[in-house]
Chain A
Amino acid sequence: MNDVRSHLSIRNLNVFYGDLQVLKNISLDIPDRKISVIIGPSGCGKTTLLKSMNRLLDHVDEVRVDGEVLVDGEDIYGPNVEVTRIRKKMGLLSQKPQVLPMSIYDNIAYGPRIHGHRDRKRLDFIVRNYLSAAGLWEEVKDRLHHPASRLSVGQQQRLCLARGLAVEPEIILGDEPTSALDPQSSQRIERRLVELKKDYTVVVVTHILRQARRIADYIVFLYLGELVEHGPAQDVFANPRDPRTRAYLTGEIS
């Protein structure tokens, strides 16, 4: 049992939107300090699976979740769970970078401030530290108090990464985090993720197989809401066990 050592485990998870079941009995341990990549054709439930991990599904109308998502051994759907505390353990990168309507500095300081950090020096340190970790510090250090919306899209996504890191999460979640970016910016994000996996558990959704091959340590393949196959990336790519996985990897289904 590596249950306890895994930050993130999913047990018999079913998700419904109204009458439509989009995730079917998923059980999965996400390995610590590795990049797990969720792949699968469009509409198979990748985003839903990712959002179930930090309870963003709560905000979808008519959604029903049953099963367990264990974060550090605690079922985040259990009673008396403080959802803000759970979410603080995870940083999120979305498909399009979503910068908050405030300055670069305030974007990074937003999370820490919400969680009670007020000390100016400490905030300065946090801002600098995580902008550096996201590889953005050098580019923005002279305009920290400019609106974040003036950054390029690629820079905005790195800002979002830094903002997520600033609440000191254990896990980084990304939903096709490079899909809105140019190839060079995508590459930068990929490189950051690879670098960050020594300290964080990373879960990324992608529909780009080449990207999965480049960064994945662990592959999760979903098909029509079912968890078809999961395992170490080399194994899955070299030797898919399920015919559907093979068909997807060779491009027969997409």
Chain B
Amino acid sequence: MRLLKEKAGRTVMFILTVLPTLLLVLMFFGLFRKSRAILALKSFGGLLFSSGWHPLRGEFGLFPFLIGTLWVTAVALVIAVPISLLMAVYLSEYAPRGFRDFAKPLIDLLSGIPSVIFGVWGVLVIVPLVGRIAPLFGRYSSGYSVLAGGIVLAVMIFPTIIHVALEVFSAIPFPLREASLSLGATRWETTRHVVLRKGSQGIIAACVLGLSRALGETMAVLMVVGNVPAAPKSVFDAGYPLPALIANNYGEILSVPLYDSALMLAALVLFIVVQTFNILARWFLVRAERRAE
């Protein structure tokens, strides 16, 4: 009887472990099957790199959306990575323990806030702000732009980056820092030459995780980015990232032929890119752990 329980328990746990992986595979094939309809008529490369998006005329170029995704993500990373790394370094290497214990949960709390709230904040604060600063750079902007999307996204991903970076730094043994300090190095020298170097793999992982979150993030960005299906030429132009495309149009797809298939293809592309980055991040984290011993 006990043996039976043991066996049953093990089977259940095994299934529960395999399920998420299986789900991923199923999703991949589901998306793939749905996008077959359009891939049968047009080449994958052609769809990816042509820029006309006119569903009624049967043109489904994904290029503007790819570029939109890229721009928003790049802006978000340029803003979020330096700030969050500096914050993580401060919290782990400089801040007194009391402050660290106080700040860490607060930062983690940020990542629990629903996307829509960031979107509203973006519409109310960031969009007007961008509209006002654009003329300083000699451009007109409604404010609904890649820059606004990037800023909102940066705020959303920085808890992820800080969180992972803090884990990485805390895995570095304190005696290693002492070794550097005991040679007469300052804290900053120790941080730069020892902590950051020892943690480099993990820091990359933190950024890649942030990146993959950025790529897939929908709601907040959709609300502030403008959603014009043309490749943006500057950060003040409106953009239209892939997730926004899918979310905005999924309701109306039935009437137009191939529309649903095109959106599924967009989803497939997004899926592959995000999963690739997730795997990459895992890989860097594993390497970082091995390096930290």
Interface string of A83-95 (1 = CB under 8 A from B): 0110110111011
B-side contacts of A163, CB under 8 Å: 179, 183
List residues of A (109-135) whose CB comes within 8 Å of B's CBs.
110-111, 114-115
**Minimum CB–CB distance for A166 against chain B, Å:** 8
Min C-beta distance of A221 to chain B, whole Å: 25
Give Cα A100–Cα B186 distance, bound, in whole angstroms: 15
Q: Does A98 contact B (CB under 8 A)?
A: yes
A160 part of interface (Cβ distance < 8 Å):
yes
Does A96 reach chain B (CB closer than 8 Å)? yes
Asked whether, in the complex, the Cβ of B178 is within 8 Å of the Cβ of A114, the reply is no
Is residue A101 within 8 Å, beta carbon to beta carbon, of the partner chain? yes
A84 touches B185 (CB 8 A): yes
Q: Is A247 an interface residue (CB 8 A)?
A: no
B184 touches A167 (CB 8 A): yes
CB distance from A177 to the nearest CB of B (A): 12
The SS class assigned to the B binding surface is: helix
A59 and B181 contacting across the interface, CB-CB below 8 Å: yes
> For the complex, is A81 an interface residue (Cβ under 8 Å from B)?
no
B93 to chain A, nearest CB (A): 10
Which residues in A have their C-beta under 8 angstroms from that of B198?
101
Contact assessment for B184 and A94 in the assembled complex, using a CB-CB cutoff below 8 Å = no
- How far apart sit A54 and B182, CA to CA, in the bound complex (Å)? 7
- Contact status B189-A56, CB under 8 Å: no
Q: Is B194 an interface residue (CB 8 A)?
A: yes
Question: Residue among B177, B182, B186, B197 with the most chain A CB within 10 A?
Answer: B182
* Chain A minimum-CB-distance residue to B178: A56
Nearest A residue to B172 via CB reads A101
Taking the nearest CB of chain A, how far is it from the CB of B235, in angstroms?
Answer: 37
Per the 8 Å Cβ criterion, residues 196-223 of A in contact with B are: none
Chain A residue at minimum C-beta to C-beta distance from B195: A101
Q: Which residues of A contact B194 (CB under 8 A)?
A: 100-101
8 Å CB contact of A100 from B97, B174, B179 = B179
Expressed in whole angstroms, the minimum distance between the Cβ of B277 and any Cβ of chain A is 25
How many residues from B make CB contacts under 8 Å with A? 22
Q: With the chains together, A173 CA to B175 CA distance in Å? A: 14
Contact with A along B180-205 (1 / 0, CB 8 A): 11111110010001100110000000
B181 to A90, Cβ gap below 8 A?
no
Q: Nearest chain-A residue to B293 (Cβ)?
A: A149
Contacting pair B184 A111 (CB below 8 A) = yes
Q: Is the interface of A mostly helix, strand, loop or mixed?
A: mixed
Interface residues of A toward B: which range?
Answer: 20 to 34
Q: Is the CB of B176 within 8 A of A100?
A: yes
Do residues B193 and A87 form an inter-chain contact, with CB atoms below 8 A? no
Chain B residues within 8 Å of A102, by CB: 193, 197
Return chain A residues, CB-CB under 8 Å to B185.
84, 110-111, 114
Chain A residues closer than 8 Å to B182, beta-carbon distance: 54, 56, 87, 90-92, 164, 173
**CA A85 – CA B178 in complex, angstroms?**
15
Interface residues of B in 199-221 (CB under 8 A from A): none
A163 to B182, CA, bound (A): 10
- Is B175 a contact partner of A98 (Cβ separation < 8 A)? yes
Q: Which residue of A lies closest to B96 (CB)?
A: A61
Task: List which A29-69 residues lie within 8 A (CB) of chain B.
Answer: 54, 56, 59, 61-62
Given contacts A101-B197, A101-B198, contact A85 B184 (CB under 8 A): yes
Contacting residue for B178 out of A59, A61, A167, CB 8 A: A59
Q: Is the CB of A98 within 8 A of B176?
A: yes
Residues of A close to B178: CB separation below 8 A: 56, 59, 92, 94, 98
Q: B291: which A residues are within 8 A, CB to CB?
A: 101
Contacts of A160 in B (CB 8 A): 179
Output the residue of B175, B189, B194 with the most chain A CB within 10 A: B175
Q: What are 21 A-B residue pairs whose CB atoms fall within 8 Å in the complex?
A: A54-B182, A59-B174, A59-B181, A61-B96, A91-B183, A92-B178, A92-B179, A92-B182, A94-B175, A96-B173, A98-B179, A100-B180, A100-B194, A101-B194, A101-B198, A110-B183, A111-B183, A111-B185, A114-B189, A160-B179, A164-B182
> What are the nearest 5 A-B pairs in CB distance?
A88-B184, A92-B182, A98-B179, A111-B183, A101-B198
Which residues of B does A touch, CB under 8 Å? 96-97, 173-186, 189, 193-194, 197-198, 291
Q: A111-B183, A160-B179 given. 14 additional CB < 8 A pairs?
A: A54-B182, A56-B178, A56-B182, A59-B177, A59-B178, A84-B185, A95-B175, A96-B173, A98-B179, A101-B197, A101-B291, A102-B197, A110-B193, A111-B184
